[in-house]
């Protein structure tokens, strides 16, 4: 079993809800796609190419000022449950953790974590550098990441072209290789049925939305990841400014929607959020999806100051620790255990009782 306490803040320091707009925006995550000159891209890489890339990156990491002493995890040496645990913490993609396949990840698949930054090695690109921050914090997340990129870029030869920019395995990432995502909670817009319009508007201004776990994942608990669609033809700052401007607007719309709800249907909103709280507190069996939906209702109530004495941090923690692999690890079970819904309900009840006490 992997010891997650080795990771700085368990790799989830961003959960503490300390960031700007922490009750609406869970986290800000930015990644940069980079490849090494002289090595074939992942699609064509043989095992030997992949391990050669990992060796180069590990050596550079040891020499680097910012990755020195980073925790390095070789995913091909981990059991499936542990890989899923890292995925549930948003530290590795489904693809790198090989969660959609029965086989283990190929040699060379690795994760390095140091503070608020990390590197996935041998994913779709040789390197996926990422920075993660609590709340709505594009500038801080990018400052961390830019420093790491500059540091590693002096120790490793990145594939770069004067016209096309940073060269990536898929042309959809070429240029800056930058994808910034803001994980945002929009229950007000969902309840007022305005969310469709907002998401349509995003597409028109070159942004895209995804589910809780990024590309290809479903939307649960009214959580959306908003991110830039294009990576080429605009500078890093322009891409971040544009996303930031639009996200600020979406936050405003969400706040307006919540005002409307409070003004026009205060009893319904209070009822919805207290019912969700009641179910979480007294239910004896909870599926993960139901838990997420109920947490969404309670989170809305906390944001509107309807439920006193409950912190956003607790709600964030519940979101992470009620996921299957986390719950199974907590209780020493398998991820497929049929009793997980009971274990989940017990865990949620215990946390909420401790918070109220």
Residues at the interface with other proteins (CB under 8 A): 35, 37, 39-44, 55-56, 59-60, 63-64, 124, 153-167, 169-172, 174-176, 178, 230-236
- The pair of structure tokens assigned to 253 is 């719309």
* Contacts for 276 with CB less than 8 Å, ≥ 6 apart: 293, 294, 295, 296, 297, 298, 301
When the beta carbons of 108 and 341 are compared against other proteins, the nearer one is: 108
CB 166 → other proteins: shortest distance, Å?
7
The least distance separating other proteins from the CB of residue 146, rounded to whole angstroms, comes to 8
CB atoms within 10 A of CB 349: 16
| Helical spans, DSSP H, in the chain | 47-63, 80-88, 138-153, 187-191, 195-204, 236-264, 266-282, 288-303, 312-321, 324-330, 340-356
What is the smallest separation between the CB atom of 241 and other proteins, expressed in angstroms? 13
Task: Considering the complex, state which of residue 94 and residue 275 has its C-beta at the smaller distance from other proteins.
Answer: 94
The CB-of-101 to other proteins minimum distance in angstroms stands at 17
For other proteins, give the closer residue by CB, 47 or 79. Answer: 47
Length of the chain: 357
The rounded distance, in Å, linking the Cα atoms of 81 and 75 is 11
Nearest distance from residue 104's CB to other proteins, in Å? Answer: 21
181-202 in b/e form (b: 16+ CB < 10 A) is bbbbbbbbbbbbebbeebbeeb
Which residue, 9, 327, 41, is CA-closest to 158? 41
When the beta carbons of 165 and 297 are compared against other proteins, the nearer one is 165
* Residues 6 or more apart whose Cβ sits within 8 Å of residue 286: 280, 294, 322, 341, 344, 345, 348
Q: Which is nearer to other proteins, 156 or 307 (CB)?
A: 156
- Do residues 183 and 29 make contact, with C-beta atoms less than 8 angstroms apart? yes
Identify the residue whose tokens are 């936050």.
251
Write down the least CB distance from residue 204 to other proteins, Å.
13
Secondary structure class of 306 (helix, strand, coil) = coil
Q: Which is nearer to other proteins, 108 or 187 (CB)?
A: 108
Minimum CB separation of residue 39 from other proteins in Å reads 8
Q: How far apart are CA 232 and CA 179, in angstroms?
A: 11
User: How far is the CA of 78 from the CAs of 1, 5, 82, 85, 146, in angstroms?
Assistant: 8, 16, 6, 11, 30
Smallest separation (angstroms) from other proteins to the CB of 119? 16
Nearer to other proteins, 203 or 356 (CB): 203
Residue closer to other proteins by CB (options 138, 186) is: 138
- Name the residue nearer to other proteins (CB basis): 161 or 248: 161
Least Å distance, CB 163 to other proteins, is 6
CA angle (247, 252, 256) in 5-degree steps:
145
């Amino acid at each position: 079993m992997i010891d997650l306490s080795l990771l700085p803040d368990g790799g989830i320091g961003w959960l503490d809800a300390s960031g700007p707009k922490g009750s609406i925006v869970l986290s800000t995550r930015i990644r940069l796609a980079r490849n090494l000159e002289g090595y074939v891209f992942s699609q064509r890489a043989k095992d030997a190419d992949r391990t050669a890339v990992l060796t180069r990156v590990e050596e550079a990491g040891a020499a680097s000022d910012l990755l020195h002493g980073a925790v390095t995890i070789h995913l091909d040496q981990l059991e499936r449950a542990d890989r899923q645990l890292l995925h549930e913490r948003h530290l590795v993609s489904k693809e790198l953790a090989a969660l959609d396949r029965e086989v283990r990840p190929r040699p060379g698949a690795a994760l390095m974590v140091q503070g608020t930054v990390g590197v996935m090695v041998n994913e779709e690109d040789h390197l996926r550098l990422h920075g993660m921050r609590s709340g709505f914090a594009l500038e801080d997340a990018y400052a961390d990441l830019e420093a790491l990129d500059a540091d590693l870029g002096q120790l490793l030869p990145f594939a770069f072209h004067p016209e096309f920019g940073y060269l990536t395995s898929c042309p959809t990432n070429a240029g800056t290789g930058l994808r910034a995502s803001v994980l945002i909670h929009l229950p007000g817009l969902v309840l007022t049925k305005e969310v469709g319009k907002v998401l349509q508007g995003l597409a028109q201004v070159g942004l895209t939305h995804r589910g809780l776990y990024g590309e290809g994942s479903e939307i649960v608990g009214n959580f959306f990841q908003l991110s830039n669609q294009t990576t080429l033809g605009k500078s890093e700052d322009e891409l971040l400014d544009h996303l930031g401007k639009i996200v600020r607007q979406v936050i405003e719309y969400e706040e307006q929607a919540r005002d409307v709800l409070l003004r026009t249907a205060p009893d319904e909103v209070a009822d919805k959020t207290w019912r969700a709280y009641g179910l979480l507190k007294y239910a004896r069996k909870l599926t993960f999806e139901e838990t997420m939906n109920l947490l969404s209702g309670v989170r809305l109530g906390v944001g509107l100051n309807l439920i006193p004495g409950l912190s956003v941090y607790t709600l964030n923690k519940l979101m992470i620790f009620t996921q299957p692999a986390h719950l199974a690890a907590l209780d020493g079970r398998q991820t497929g255990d049929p009793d997980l819904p009971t274990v989940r309900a017990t865990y949620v009840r215990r946390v909420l009782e401790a918070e109220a006490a």
